[in-house]
């Protein structure tokens, strides 16, 4: 029995249909690959707070200069946070137990310096960060790093949580790990001294307020 040959228009239609499906699949695969790469970058930031036997780069040091921060807002817009004025940067992840332990003392520190001077910086993906910030009622002052490279290179975020006091684009105090009420008081004193443009004994000589745990 003879097989009926398919017309040329039919062959072309079939070919374009198959090619279109393949193109869509390629686009989907590329999109998934990009999202996986971005997730792995963020995952690296989230879980580097434990050394796990690997080399962890040193954190920022007092006196080190930092650029203005490229921020991703919770509404998906991007902005630049100018760090010439005094800012308290609180870097956290919703998956980090030490970060959760810090929120009580961060709240106390925030009351000391004023909510308008505080930025919570999440290293979670955007949607997770948005939901968590809403649950914590800090969505009006929560951002993400828009540039993971800047987070790692300029701000040296490899371990969390971090409490960083910045004034005039310069690190004035930094604490890695869990805060305690004594450190909250010392950081608060550093803050007020710098706001008043007076030398601070806590900033100048108290290593317990500025060293990693």
CATH number assigned to the domain comprising residue 117? 3.40.30.10
Within-domain flag for 124: yes
Within-domain flag for 4: no
Within-domain flag for 100: yes
Within-domain flag for 29: no
pLDDT exceeds 60 at position 45: no
Q: What is the pLDDT of residue 58?
A: 84
Rounded CA gap, 50 and 125, in Å?
20
Q: What is the pLDDT of residue 210?
A: 42
pLDDT exceeds 80 at position 32: no
Q: Is 202 helix (H, G, I), strand (E, B) or coil?
A: helix
pLDDT exceeds 90 at position 1: no
- Sheet containing 118-122, strands listed edge to edge, beginning at the edge strand earlier in sequence: 78-81, 69-73, 142-145, 118-122, 87-92, 162-167, 170-176
pLDDT exceeds 80 at position 48: no
Within-domain flag for 59: no
CA atoms within 13 A on the CB side of 100: 6
Tokens in use for 56? 């962890």
**Residue 186: band (very low, low, confident or very high) from pLDDT cuts 50, 70, 90:** confident
Mean pLDDT to the nearest integer, 49-66: 71
Rounded CA gap, 88 and 98, in Å?
18
Q: Which residues contact 16 (CB under 8 A, 6 or more apart)?
A: none
Which residue range(s) make up the domain with 127?
Answer: 69-209
What domain count does the chain have? 1
Within-domain flag for 173: yes
What is the largest distance, in Å, between two alpha-carbon atoms of the chain? 99
pLDDT, one tens digit per residue, over 118-157 is 999 999 999 999 999 999 999 999 999 999 888 988 999 9
pLDDT, one tens digit per residue, over 88-124 is 999 999 999 999 999 999 999 998 888 899 999 999 9
CB atoms within 10 A of CB 43: 15
**Residue 13: band (very low, low, confident or very high) from pLDDT cuts 50, 70, 90:** low
Within-domain flag for 53: no
Question: φ, ψ for residue 147 (rounded to 5)?
Answer: -125, 105
Scan for tokens 């290293």, then name that residue: 123
Q: Which residue has the higher pLDDT, 129 or 48?
A: 129
């Amino acid at each position: 029995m003879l097989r009926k040959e398919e017309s040329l228009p039919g062959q072309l239609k079939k070919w374009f249909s198959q090619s279109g499906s393949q193109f869509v699949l390629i686009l989907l695969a590329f999109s998934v690959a990009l999202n996986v790469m971005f997730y792995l970058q963020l995952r690296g930031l989230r879980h580097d707070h434990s050394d796990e036997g690997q080399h962890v780069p040193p954190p920022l040091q007092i006196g080190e200069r930092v650029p203005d921060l490229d921020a991703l807002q919770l509404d998906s817009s991007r902005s630049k946070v100018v760090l010439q004025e005094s800012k308290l940067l609180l870097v956290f992840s919703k998956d980090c137990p030490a970060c959760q332990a810090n929120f009580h003392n961060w709240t106390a520190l925030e009351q000391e310096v004023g909510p308008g001077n505080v930025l919570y910086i999440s290293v979670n993906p955007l949607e997770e960060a948005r939901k968590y910030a809403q649950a914590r009622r800090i969505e009006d002052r929560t951002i993400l790093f828009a540039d993971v490279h800047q987070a790692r290179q300029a701000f040296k975020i490899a371990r969390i949580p971090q409490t960083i006091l910045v004034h005039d684009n310069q690190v004035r105090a930094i604490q890695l790990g869990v805060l305690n009420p004594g450190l909250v008081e010392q950081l608060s004193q550093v803050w007020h001294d710098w706001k008043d443009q007076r030398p601070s004994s806590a900033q100048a000589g108290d290593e317990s307020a500025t060293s990693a745990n």
